[in-house]
Amino acid sequence: MNTVIENENKGPGWIDFAKVFSVWFLITGSFAISQKYFLFVTVFVVPVFFFLFGFSETDGKSIKQTIIEGLKFFLLPYVLLYLTNYIINIIVYFLSRATNPAVSPDSFDIFIKPLIGMLLASTVKSPFSTFAVHSLWFLPAVFIVRVFHAIIYKFIKLKIYLYLLFILVFYGITSLSYYLFNIQGQRIAFSIDCACAAMPFFTAGYIIRKYGILIPFIRHDLQGKSFNFLISIVCFGFIVIFLQFMGEFNFGDFIFGSSIPLYYLAGFMGIAAVVSFSLTCSGDFGISYFLSQGLLIAAAFYIKVIGLLNTVVGQDYELFLMSKFILSFLILLYSSMAVLFWKYLKGERELILYLKILIRNKIFYNAKMVVFAVSKLFTALFVIIREKLVKPSGEDHGEETLPEDRFLWVDFARAAGLLIFILGNMQGINLLKNFIFAFVLPLYFFLNGFLENNRRSFKEMVLNSIRTLLIPYVIIYGCLIVYYFVFNVIANIGNLNPDRVLFEFILQPVLNMILVTNQVGGFFGSQAIPLWFLIALFEIRIVHHGCIALIKRKLSFYPLSIIIAVGVFWGLFRLSIVLIRLPFALDCAFLTYPFFALGFIVRQKKVIELINYYDSKSAALRIILPIVGFALTAVVSAINGLNDISWGVFGLNLPMFYFSAFFGIASVVFISLLYKKEMPEITLVSMGSLLIMSYYFPALYYTIHVFDSLNIYFGLFAQICISVLMLFLSPALLLFFFRYFPVLTGGKNRLLKQREQINRMMEVLPRE
């Protein structure tokens, strides 16, 4: 059996992935993204590696065997890599003197201190040897930890209570040495202090493997991977919270922040997060094994590489965030290639064999698997929740049936609209936000007009709108009021008085809800902005049915009624600018009525069928028309300025607002008509689009707050990734609401229809 396959069979692939993932994070943290991000990374990287070494530790070794293995695999590489760093520092020193003779540090700092640092396995600071040991301290620390473990194992023979007692002793030694030595600037030689501090993590890995605690979580089906992914998200979230209280820490420098117990808690959370994420992402192919070959080289020299990159790029030029992530991956890649090439020169044919395996397994041709990984994971959630929450399709639902065909392009347009709407709310006042807001909300009014059922009586329409729009509005807004009341009371616990609590935390939000405005209540009003859409749509439906009744369903007179309605409410809107905004979102809602009416007319006149006919005749139209439409929208929105319907802002003038919106809507429709094959994720997002628009804003606010707490500025690509992630997190929550809170999704009758639709679309999901 070849060596690659042997390596894959000796241990689970998730271990290799966890190692690669942790080192990649460590390298990105050293790119000076932010101090908070660096602390976020370092809080779990070292604990994870000690945990993995403990997990991989085998039984039955004598103390002598452990020492010999440690000398070969840890101390010897440590000495060689350290000396290589030492030589590089000497070369840098002489080059610096050649270019700048004024650079003349003490020879003791250049030649002697680094050697002392190597013997002590700790950093002895000087201008040229500050990072001479850096992450290499880890190797002698692992050697010491494995020797400690072998000694304990020899005497207690894995009596678990005694083993844990010894670990408590090591924790006590760590705490004592921290307060006696490190606070005074002293360290114990040969990283013994760090080894004692790392014993609990090593022991956790060993015990978990020994007792098979991790076995239930090692699942390769989609359900298991989704569960592990959610665990990792939750644990990473707890780490972000802990960082706010931990202060400065660095395991290699034996600094544990404000509290040693809190550091251990955060470290174990980090282990759970990385292990869960690794169990999620590990696959049958060996790309993780390939990258893990060069981890030691990457950890030894990444500081030098980053320093060289900063020298080449220059201090005045800041690399983009994604560039730093990609460069970190390239450091791992080239380190692994160097190691495998060295093995090839030594006569080992592992490199050629491994490349053949990569090509045969189509690793290089399956990059799309990475792009769709998150989508597939959340698809698994649909399967789980469907089995738990959604009743079988064979259940008798009376006469409630779902139409045989859905408008697939409408589902796609809704999902795409939600995605760019979330992205637009991440932007400041810029051209991209002007472009997005020029058509994204008018698009939703257009789609609701297209789907409007005109065969209902006025009474049926009103009752249906109350059930599907007003009741969800009141419930969701009420939940937000309760949430923000608790949030504000806790945040202002030292500055509260009865008048402020009554007026600012209760009356203002309630007044917001009744008036359907964001003008009262400051912060709270801004967080509940999207809910006005539900009331506006309710009002537009009433106006629409009133217009249809007045013209006796003669569609040729319908445009005239639209013009009259817009003219009347435009006058009211101009009046409201001078006086006060109209309550119940009347001024904004009816100015968007033309988009609703346009959607209704498009369906009645079968315009979509006509577009499909001409598109089928000319494939070029499918590409040219959306490009031209978006180009016109971009130009007009750049001239007209920002359109924000919720605030009654329509740019420079109303005609330009309508012009840009119509072209943006047409472009989205042309693109959506290319969507021919149903995807369950998109269908489910479309079914719950109104609900998503109701709660996404608070979720977006706290997501951005997490990034701000880590002092990370994320650019457009990161914003797109966050928007996609938020969108694909929604379906699992939607299925929960469909089952337990049908009132938020339109009531019981609509739920029955949705169950049928969910069951039908779930038939295409993979089952393991």
Predicted pLDDT of residue 404:
40
Per-residue confidence band for 578, with pLDDT thresholds at 50, 70 and 90: very low
Q: Is the pLDDT reported for residue 396 higher than 60?
A: no
Strands (E), 497-613: none
| 261 neighbors 34 (Cβ within 8 angstroms) | no
Strands (E), 571-673: 643-644, 649-650
| 224 neighbors 281 (Cβ within 8 angstroms) | no
- Taking only the tens place, the pLDDT of each residue in 439-465 is 888 898 899 888 887 777 788 888 888
Q: How far apart are CA 271 and CA 18, in angstroms?
A: 10
- Taking only the tens place, the pLDDT of each residue in 284-330 is 445 677 777 778 888 777 777 777 776 666 554 556 666 777 788 88
Residue 576 maps to a domain: yes
Residue 380 maps to a domain: no
Instruction: Report the percent of the chain where pLDDT is more than 70.
Output: 60
- Taking only the tens place, the pLDDT of each residue in 180-193 is 555 545 566 667 77
Q: Write the DSSP assignment of 442-479 as a string of letters.
A: HHHHHHHHHT--TTS-HHHHHHHHIIIIIHHHHHHHHH
Local structure of residue 293 (DSSP, 8 states): T
Residue 466 maps to a domain: no
Average pLDDT over residues 214-235: 74
Predicted pLDDT of residue 605:
79
Domain assignment of residue 417, given as a range: 403-459+539-762
Average pLDDT over residues 387-392: 45
Per-residue confidence band for 84, with pLDDT thresholds at 50, 70 and 90: confident
Domain boundary among 260, 286, 312: 286
Domain boundary among 252, 286, 320: 286
| 289 neighbors 355 (Cβ within 8 angstroms) | no
Average pLDDT over residues 575-596: 69
The alpha carbon of 94 is separated from its chain's Cα centroid by a whole number of angstroms, namely: 46
- How far CA 283 is from CA of 267, 313, 322, 404, 626, in Å, comes to 26, 37, 25, 38, 39
- Taking only the tens place, the pLDDT of each residue in 135-165 is 777 888 888 888 888 887 777 765 666 666 6
Q: Residue 541: enclosing H or E segment and its boundaries? A: helix 532-550
Q: How far apart are CA 175 and CA 494, in angstroms?
A: 35
Predicted pLDDT of residue 271:
92
- Taking only the tens place, the pLDDT of each residue in 632-682 is 888 888 888 887 777 767 777 778 888 888 999 999 998 888 887 777 767
- Tokens coding 449: 């007009």
Q: Write the DSSP assignment of 172-190 as a string of letters.
A: HHHHHHHHHTGGGT---GG
Q: How far apart are CA 394 and CA 384, in angstroms?
A: 18
Q: Say yes or no: 280 and 407 in one domain.
A: no
746 versus 116: the higher-pLDDT residue is 116
Furthest CA-CA distance within the chain: 98
- Class of residue 705 by CB neighbours under 10 A (exposed 0-12, middle 13-18, buried 19+): exposed
Per-residue confidence band for 615, with pLDDT thresholds at 50, 70 and 90: low
Residue 395 maps to a domain: no
| 334 neighbors 291 (Cβ within 8 angstroms) | no
Lowest mean pLDDT among 261-265, 379-383, 721-725: 379-383
Q: CB under 8 Å to 121, separation ≥6 — which residues? A: 78, 133, 136, 137, 140, 141, 189, 190, 191
Give me the number of domains the chain comprises.
2
Residue 620 maps to a domain: yes
Residue 363 maps to a domain: no
| 137 neighbors 122 (Cβ within 8 angstroms) | yes
Domain boundary among 286, 316, 350: 286
The mean pLDDT of the chain is: 71
